[in-house]
Amino acid sequence: MASENPLLQFTVKKLVDLHIGGLDVSFTNASLFMVIAAVLITLFMVAAMRPKAIVPGRFQGAAELFYEFIDNMLLENIGVEGRRYFPFVFSIFMFVFFCNILGLVPVGPAESGFTVTSQIIVTFALALLVFVVVTVIGFMRNGLHFLRMFVPSGVPWPILPILVPIEVMSYFIRPVTLSVRLFANMVAGHVMLALFGGFVVGLSAFYVVPAVFPFAAIIAVLALELLIAALQAYVFAMLTCIYLNDAVHMAH
Amino acid sequence: MDAAAASLIGAGIAAVALGGAGIGLGIFFGHYMDAAMRNPEAQNKVKINPWVAFALIEALGLMGFVLSFILIGSK
């Protein structure tokens, strides 16, 4: 149970054992929740846009809210040509957002929802995808001139041998910080929730009334976690837009 | 000192990073409050900036927290 060790809630359990060749491609609870997230996103967008009204009702308005949110983000950060990257940024934002939120629902196949983005390999896969896509787009749009990004303009040449390695390192650390930011936020929030849950169970073994205090803390932390779930999805998408802007419009 | 004890001490030291996150958040929101009270109408233009700054500052503190957990788990 998660009350003994708050880290037990992150174990990946195999639901269906599959082996292809020598590779272990079992269907785990992480895979299940990724499928649930993808199905929910698709159902939500398809069902909400079914009326196709010019003046949207409430449900269609909700889907249009997500759409315009990402559209405005792309317009602000990249400009009009940012619209062509809309499917990429929208998919990443919706997937991260729904996976974060699914981890907070208290009912599910196991004791509760499983947070897919609390697995470092999932967030690293997403961050690596963003990094590779941005680099490829940068080379496609600018050719070898893209390497100018590591040499800022207006810098006196004696400093360059020190500055260029620093710029290169800060470029290559982008997938690391992107992935660890999302992973650490999710793990920290859920560890706190499991810890306070353990406190409630432990306290109520002695006296039931003082167990209200950790319970109130759980409610507060849950509200904070809802905010963090939405915020981390937004920050992930916004940093993707900023990196795309760097690649598409060479700032240096 | 054996490795298990050293990694636990390291885990405790790594958690000090959260204090840095707390200080950073305090500085940021303090300056934000100063500026917002001086010019309340300008808040509408920068509605989302405080949240973004909160996420980015908190992330660095939480990286130390994660390092602490890695050290607790390792032998």
pLDDT the model gives residue A55:
85
What's the whole-number mean pLDDT along residues A157-182?
91
Structural domain boundaries in chain B:
3-73
pLDDT in tens, A79-91: 888 889 999 999 9
Q: How far apart are CA A61 and CA A43, in angstroms?
A: 15
Q: How far apart are CA A64 and CA B34, in angstroms?
A: 35
Please give the backbone phi and psi of residue A216, each rounded to the nearest 5 degrees, phi first: -65, -35
pLDDT the model gives residue A97:
95
Residue A110 confidence class, pLDDT cut points 50, 70, 90: low
What's the whole-number mean pLDDT along residues A3-7?
71
**Partner A contacted by B54 (CB < 8 A):** yes
Q: What percent of chain A has pLDDT over 90?
A: 44
Q: What is the mean pLDDT of chain B?
A: 89
Query: For A104, left (φ over 0), alpha (ψ -120 to 50), or beta?
Result: alpha
Q: What percent of chain A has pLDDT over 70?
A: 96
Assign a CATH topology to domain B3-73.
F1FO ATP Synthase (1.20.20)
Q: How far apart are CA A235 and CA A12, in angstroms?
A: 26
DSSP H or E segment with residue A23: strand A23-24
What's the whole-number mean pLDDT along residues A17-34?
86
Interface probe for B, chosen from A177, A235, A239, A241 (most Cβ of B below 10 Å), is A235
Assess whether pLDDT exceeds 50 at residue A1. no
**Partner B contacted by A181 (CB < 8 A):** yes
Residue A178 confidence class, pLDDT cut points 50, 70, 90: very high
Interface probe for A, chosen from B18, B48, B54, B62 (most Cβ of A below 10 Å), is B62
Higher model confidence: residue A210 or residue A180?
A: A180
pLDDT in tens, A39-82: 999 999 999 888 888 888 888 888 999 999 999 999 988 888 88
Q: What is the mean pLDDT of chain A?
A: 88
Residue A111 confidence class, pLDDT cut points 50, 70, 90: low
Q: How far apart are CA A235 and CA A228, in angstroms?
A: 10
Token pair, residue B59, equals 């992330």
Q: What is the DSSP string of B6-67?
A: HHHHHHHHHTTHHHHHHHHHHHHHHHHHHHHHH-GGGGGTTTTHHHHHHHHHHHHHHHHHHH
pLDDT the model gives residue A231:
93
Assess whether pLDDT exceeds 70 at residue A241. yes
Tokens 């470029």 correspond to A171
**Partner A contacted by B45 (CB < 8 A):** no
Of A98-102, B17-21, B49-53, where does mean pLDDT reach its minimum?
Answer: B49-53
**Bridging pattern class, strands A19-20 and A23-24:** antiparallel
pLDDT in tens, A126-145: 999 999 999 999 999 888 88
DSSP one-letter code for A166: H
**Which residues touch A110 (CB under 8 Å, ≥6 apart)?**
A13, A29
Assess whether pLDDT exceeds 70 at residue A230. yes
CB A26 within 8 Å of CB A18: yes
3-state SS assignment for residue A43: helix
Q: How far is A188 from chain B (nearest CA, A)?
A: 7
Higher model confidence: residue B49 or residue A95?
A: A95
Q: How far is A250 from chain B (nearest CA, A)?
A: 24
Q: How far apart are CA B49 and CA B61, in angstroms?
A: 19
